[in-house]
Amino acid sequence: MEAGQCYMVGDRLETDIKMANDAGIHSVLVMSGITNEEMLKVSVHQPEYVLDSVKDIATL
């Protein structure tokens, strides 16, 4: 499987989303963890997808 076929799901911009973006993996931020809207707005590490919860993964 190639990196572009993988998805990294996480709740931290500076670790989970940064790692996915650096590795060329689709990045999915779930807002049910540590990250809030303000943190997302100002972060240099932006996810490809933003979901309210991991329950919403099926919508991708």
CATH of the domain at 17: 3.40.50.1000
Q: Range of 25's domain?
A: 3-59
Amino acid identity, residue 7?
Answer: Y
Write down the pLDDT at residue 60. Answer: 85
Write down the pLDDT at residue 45. Answer: 98
What's the total number of domains in the chain? Answer: 1
Output b/e per residue, 26-60; b: 16+ Cβ within 10 A.
bbbbbbeeebeeeebeeeebebeebbeeeeeeeee
Q: What is the pLDDT along the chain (60 residues), one digit of tens a residue?
A: 787 889 999 999 999 999 999 999 999 999 999 999 999 999 999 999 999 999 999 998
pTM of the complete model? 0.91
Q: Among residues 26, 25, 29, 32, which one has the least CA distance to residue 14?
A: 29
Is 40 within 8 Å of 51 (Cβ atoms)? no
Write down the pLDDT at residue 11. Answer: 97
